[in-house]
């Protein structure tokens, strides 16, 4: 069985392929000759993951899954949320996003936040959603150099260090994306192996 992951990130593809049963061959967007930028125009993580999965299924006729992730900060009413990647505006930059978030939080005592990932799977003409959440808090300054995005300023609940100080193996075990992917993988193993 072939399944498309709507991503061009080869590291993500390899990581997920290792978790899947051998009966499922994972393909990336390049593998199906999809070089178009899929616009994320929805206002929710669920909406964007559905939009991307639908685009691949409709245009290329493949079973597919897509994900969208946002950082939701309690004292900012859930912002940046679905706009996490472009929070500070253009040009899109993780550094600019982190600096804007730290500035916006200067007057707030409550630094509770959570990362949330939603995966939409389109398979055999059905749609399934899987969610992963990692609760934590926003630090007052950057810590570590690993990872990407907001990792240097996010400390997961129950840990004394930021995501950016953890190995990818450690982070993937507890991260929002890791949790959502595990739910997806468990579903595929139970249903299609």
Q: What CATH number did the domain enclosing 138 receive?
A: 3.90.950.10
Strand pairing partners for 131? 118
Strand pairing partners for 30? none
pTM above 0.85, yes or no: yes
Cβ-based neighbour number of residue 103 at 10 Å: 10
Cβ-based neighbour number of residue 105 at 10 Å: 19
pLDDT for the residue 190: 87
**Contact between residue 176 and residue 134 where contact means Cβ atoms under 8 Å apart:** yes
Model confidence at 148, in pLDDT bands (50, 70, 90)? confident
Mean pLDDT, residues 32-36 taken together: 93
Average pLDDT over the chain, rounded to an integer = 93
**Those residues with Cβ within 8 angstroms of residue 103's Cβ, 6 or more apart along the chain or in another chain:** none
Domains of the chain: total: 1
Q: Is 68 a catalytic residue?
A: yes
Give the integer Cα–Cα distance in Å for 80 and 91. Answer: 16
Give the integer Cα–Cα distance in Å for 33 and 31. Answer: 6
Q: Which of 68, 104, 151, 190 is catalytic?
A: 68
Model confidence at 101, in pLDDT bands (50, 70, 90)? very high
**Those residues with Cβ within 8 angstroms of residue 24's Cβ, 6 or more apart along the chain or in another chain:** 1, 2, 3, 188, 192, 193
Give the integer Cα–Cα distance in Å for 124 and 101. Answer: 41
Percent of the chain with pLDDT over 90: 75
Model confidence at 22, in pLDDT bands (50, 70, 90)? confident
Q: Mutual orientation of helices 176-192 and 10-19 as an angle, nearest 10°?
A: 50
Give the integer Cα–Cα distance in Å for 132 and 178. Answer: 7
Per-residue pLDDT at 11 exceeds 80: no
Model confidence at 32, in pLDDT bands (50, 70, 90)? very high
Mean pLDDT, residues 19-42 taken together: 90
Model confidence at 150, in pLDDT bands (50, 70, 90)? very high
Q: Domain of residue 143: give its range.
A: 2-192
Of 98 and 167, more confident: 98
Could you give the 3-state DSSP secondary structure of residue 52? helix
């Amino acid at each position: 069985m072939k399944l498309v992951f709507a991503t061009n990130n080869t590291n993500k593809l390899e990581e997920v392929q290792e978790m899947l049963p051998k009966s499922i061959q994972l393909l990336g967007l390049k593998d199906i000759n999809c070089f178009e930028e899929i616009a994320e125009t929805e206002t929710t993580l669920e909406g964007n993951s559905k939009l991307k999965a639908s685009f691949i299924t409709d245009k290329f006729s493949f079973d597919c899954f897509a994900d969208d992730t946002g950082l939701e900060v309690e004292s900012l009413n859930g912002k940046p949320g679905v706009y996490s990647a472009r929070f500070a505006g253009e040009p899109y930059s993780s550094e600019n996003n982190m600096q804007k978030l730290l500035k916006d939080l200067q007057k707030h005592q409550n630094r509770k936040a959570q990362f949330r990932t939603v995966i939409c799977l389109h398979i055999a003409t059905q749609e399934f959603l899987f969610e992963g959440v990692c609760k934590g808090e926003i630090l007052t300054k950057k810590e570590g150099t690993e990872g990407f995005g907001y990792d240097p300023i996010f400390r997961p609940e129950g840990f004394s260090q930021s995501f950016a100080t953890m190995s990818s193996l450690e982070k993937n075990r507890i991260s929002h994306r890791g949790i959502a992917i595990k739910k997806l993988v468990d579903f595929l193993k139970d249903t299609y192996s």
